[in-house]
Amino acid sequence: MNQLPLNSNIRKVLYDDLPALKAVIDSSGLFPSEFLDDMIASYFDEDNNTEFWLTYVEKEPIAVAYLAPERLTSGTYNLYLIAVHADYQGKAIGKSLMAFIEQFLKERGERILLVETSGLPSFERTRAFYLNNGYIQEARIREFYAAGEDKIVFWKAL
């Protein structure tokens, strides 16, 4: 995996981080934390050099992000997951993690970062987070996740 930019709190995810990252996901309410096992399984393969799992660490991991290239594109990445433990939200940790990700991708010569989220009212704060970080709402796919739950796609040039 490519060298990450210097940051004293952000690093690659280690296998031993998984219990703390499950606690982060459980506290955020994004999805059941047991999904993490399947999502991250291929990341620990030796030949994996395209997926990136990052964590923001204080004494232990308190935030997680997962990004990977969009297949059949040149320079387009998707941020599939970013979550900050509920006890640490509102302290600019998510903003710091996003800035790190964007800088990391930019230094690699990537062009675009896409992010998707739910259109449900309970995700209003999430959508505001992306808008406040310079993302443009690029698309809405109606009824994507379930009946009555749209997918909202955000876009940012790097």
Total residues belonging to the chain: 158
Cut 0.85: pTM above it? yes
Task: Give yes or no for residue 138 having a pLDDT over 60.
Answer: yes
Q: Structure tokens of 126? A: 């999430």
Distance CA 46, CA 62 (A): 25
Q: With beta carbons less than 8 A apart as the criterion, state whether 13 and 21 touch.
A: yes
Superfamily per CATH, domain 10-157 = Gcn5-related N-acetyltransferase (GNAT) (3.40.630.30)
Query: In this prediction, what percent of the chain has a pLDDT beyond 70?
Result: 96
* pLDDT band, residue 32 (cuts 50/70/90): confident
Cα–Cα distance between 6 and 10 in angstroms, integer? Answer: 8
Instruction: Provide the phi-psi class of 75: left if phi over 0, else alpha when psi is between -120 and 50, else beta.
Output: left
State mean pLDDT over 50-68. 92
Q: Quick one: pLDDT at residue 122?
A: 92
Mean pLDDT of 37-60: 86
The residues that bridge with 113 in the sheet, in sequence order, are: 77, 156
